[in-house]
Amino acid sequence: MIRFSATFSLLAALFLGVLLSGCREGGGHAAGVAERIKEAQAPIAVDSTITDADFPEKTVLAMEEYQGGFFRVEARRELIERYPCTGCHNEKEVTVADGAAQAHGDIVLEHGEKGRRLVCFACHKPDNRNLLEAEEGFAVDFDHSYRVCGYCHFRQKRDWIGGAHGKRMEFWAGARVVKNCTSCHDPHSPRFKKRWPKTYSLPLT
Amino acid sequence: MGVPKKDEYRAVDDFVGRILSRKNDRRSFLKGAVVTGSALALSGCGNGLPGMGEESVLAWQEFFKANYRLMTETEKRDTVTRLEKLARIRQGIDVRISTREPRENVLFGYGFNISRCEGYMDCVAACVKENNVDRRSKTQYIRIFEMEHGKMNVDAGDGKYFHEVPVDGHFYMGVQCFQCENPPCVKACPTKATWQEPDGIVVVDYDWCIGCRYCMAACPYWGRRFNWNDPEVPSSEITRRQHYLGNRMRSRGVMEKCTFCIQRSREGRNTACVEACPTGSRVFGNLLDPDSEIRFVLAHKKVFRMKEELGTEPKFWYFMD
């Protein structure tokens, strides 16, 4: 009888041991990928194989810094039709009949809350149409429109600088190049429009 | 097992003869290869048999190659050359198949912004195009669920919507392979045809997959796809920059899955879905780089992973603005 209980307790101890070791393994697992990431300090991803020539779009150095230092942003100024704006908006009087409607009649201004829409000069500089202006004396080039947008949308700008809003162009590796605000948003009507999806999925089963 | 009798030898010879006199389609070729393989491999018939066309010879040599992880550099180069030649014969196009190795100090991670996605599905279309996925069965690696506000379970979402988006009161949640750090699919594979690469991508060696679909059953996220038929992709639409473990052409009866566009990501490029996303809901980068965008998301946003309680450790985080 004594021998039996000794064997039994030995078995029980073994069983308990197996159980506990199983728990430990499971516990170690829960740390997982988060722990691995936290400890990681990979050297800054310089990729010399990626050059400016790999970007089809023109880019400029941003006037901001992200956690990894300077970065570049898609240039927008040269993409504006009829730039420079002072070609029409200058000291001379505009002689074309109905010029405003012909030049900017396509613009739908849906920016700002309903009933309190923004007006042209909320962003455009009245005395120099080649520039933007969010506040008197704060002139901004079209390439750096994020400085104007960020004047109101500071949360989005903070996320954009860090990398949670907007996106990198072409490469995840190499020196950082990101899209500008106006690369994705129409500044006059910034909300994305309702449309049909590009494709559809079949039922799962 | 005793020594085979004389007439047994003759039966095998007859069978081999029958196989070889037939037009070499895949099925009959494989049948024949099973029987003749051992005998001929031993007799050093590496160049196929006399009278075989170039395609059959290449397919024959392909049949005897090793698992990708066991290949030497030469073997890798050889199989790539053969596959490129086969693409020229079968699809009439020049493809470039890479065997680029993972980069040092890189672990890929992904972020998906559920408050930004509008359900346009540009990512799905781009993924199908990039990865040469079968058009006939309309296989897709990504599925976007339309979910009611407040619901967090994809079972309650609509994964087959087709109407104008976004719909008020709904948000959109993309699901694809999460490249788990502890992948149940890899454990389930009986032939070691699927494994995790050092940069965290779970890949499939399409030539070692036997199509048992155990991995499909093991995946809690519906992340894997099966080729019920030989993938049909118009030659003009085939993405020609390919990777051995990525978007090279598959055949009937093998598994495939999202590989974070291994053919792009290993070259430093964004994945096709990230590139196509018109709303910037998708964030891709190196988890080991403390300055990367994905690390910023993890550090500054409310993030969660799907079915986190399973301990699969997906490297795919959902986040909110």
**Which H, E and C letters describe B220-289, residue by residue?**
CCCCEEECCCCCCCCHHHCCCEEECCCCCCCCCCCEEECCCCHHHHCCCECCHHHHHCCCCCEEEEECCC
Q: What are the tens digits of pLDDT across the range B218-229?
A: 999 999 999 999
Q: What are the tens digits of pLDDT across the range B243-284?
A: 999 999 999 999 999 999 999 999 999 999 999 999 999 999
Per-residue confidence (pLDDT) for residue B8, from 0 to 100: 54
- Show Cβ contacts of residue A67 under 8 Å, excluding neighbours closer than 6 positions: A162, B290, B291, B296
Strand B143-148 to B170-175 pairing = antiparallel
Quick one: average pLDDT of B126-136?
A: 97
From the candidates B107, B288, B297, B298, which should be mutated to test the interface with A, based on the most A CB atoms within 10 A?
B288
Higher pLDDT, B102 or B2: B102
Judged against a pLDDT cut of 50, whether residue B236 lies above it is answered with yes
**How many angstroms separate the Cα of A84 from the Cα of each of A114, A121, A122, A129, A136?**
31, 17, 19, 8, 21
- B107·A40 Cβ contact <8 A: yes
Per-residue confidence (pLDDT) for residue A40, from 0 to 100: 78
Q: How confident is the model at residue A205 (pLDDT cuts 50, 70, 90)?
A: low
From the candidates A157, A169, A177, A201, which should be mutated to test the interface with B, based on the most B CB atoms within 10 A?
A201
- B291·A68 Cβ contact <8 A: yes
Indicate the helix (H) or strand (E) that contains B16. helix B6-21
* Predicted TM-score (pTM) of this structure: 0.83
Q: Residue B160: its chain A contacts at CB < 8 A?
A: 200-204
Q: What are the tens digits of pLDDT across the range B30-61?
A: 555 555 544 444 444 456 667 788 999 999 99
Q: Residue A43: its chain B contacts at CB < 8 A?
A: 105
Whole-angstrom distance between the N-terminal and C-terminal Cα of chain A? 60
Judged against a pLDDT cut of 80, whether residue A166 lies above it is answered with yes
Per-residue confidence (pLDDT) for residue B214, from 0 to 100: 97
Q: How many CB pairs under 8 A join A and B?
A: 162
Q: Residue B292: its chain A contacts at CB < 8 A?
A: 45, 68, 163, 172
Find the closest chain A residue to B161 by CA distance.
A200
Q: Which two tokens stand for residue B213?
A: 């679909």
- Show Cβ contacts of residue B207 under 8 Å, excluding neighbours closer than 6 positions: B62, B65, B68
Per-residue confidence (pLDDT) for residue A48, from 0 to 100: 75
Q: Residue B300: its chain A contacts at CB < 8 A?
A: 159, 162, 164
Q: How confident is the model at residue A4 (pLDDT cuts 50, 70, 90)?
A: low
Q: What are the tens digits of pLDDT across the range B133-169?
A: 999 999 999 999 999 999 888 888 999 999 999 999 9
- Cβ neighbours around B6 below 10 Å, total: 7
Q: What are the tens digits of pLDDT across the range B77-114?
A: 999 999 999 999 999 999 999 999 999 999 999 999 99
Q: How confident is the model at residue A82 (pLDDT cuts 50, 70, 90)?
A: confident
Which of A30, A49, A203 comes nearest B311 by C-beta? A30
Could you give the 3-state DSSP secondary structure of residue A72? strand
Q: What are the tens digits of pLDDT across the range B166-200?
A: 999 999 999 999 999 999 999 999 999 999 999 99
Q: How confident is the model at residue A29 (pLDDT cuts 50, 70, 90)?
A: very low
Are the C-beta atoms of residues B126 and B275 closer than 8 Å to each other?
yes
Handedness of CA B189, B192, B196, B201 (dihedral sign): negative
**How many angstroms separate the Cα of A195 from the Cα of each of B2, B165, B166?**
72, 6, 8
Find the closest chain B residue to A30 by CA distance.
B311
Across A94-98, A134-138, A163-167, B78-82, least confident range: A94-98
Q: Residue A32: its chain B contacts at CB < 8 A?
A: 181-182, 311, 313
Per-residue confidence (pLDDT) for residue A24, from 0 to 100: 43
Which of B118, B159, B166 comes nearest A204 by C-beta? B159
Per-residue confidence (pLDDT) for residue A21, from 0 to 100: 52
Per-residue confidence (pLDDT) for residue A2, from 0 to 100: 56
ipTM of the modeled complex: 0.82
Q: What are the tens digits of pLDDT across the range A100-142?
A: 777 888 898 999 988 889 999 999 999 999 999 988 889 999 9
Higher pLDDT, B121 or A81: B121
B/e letters for A166-187, b = 16+ CB within 10 Å, e = fewer, are bbbbbbbbbbbbbbbbbbbbeb
Strand B316-320 to B108-113 pairing = parallel
Tell me the percentage of chain A whose pLDDT exceeds 70.
82
Q: Residue A164: its chain B contacts at CB < 8 A?
A: 111, 113, 283, 293, 296-297, 300-301, 319, 321
Judged against a pLDDT cut of 70, whether residue B12 lies above it is answered with no
Q: How confident is the model at residue A8 (pLDDT cuts 50, 70, 90)?
A: low
Handedness of CA B221, B224, B229, B230 (dihedral sign): positive
Q: Residue B143: its chain A contacts at CB < 8 A?
A: 201, 204
From the candidates A67, A172, A186, A192, which should be mutated to test the interface with B, based on the most B CB atoms within 10 A?
A172
Judged against a pLDDT cut of 50, whether residue A184 lies above it is answered with yes
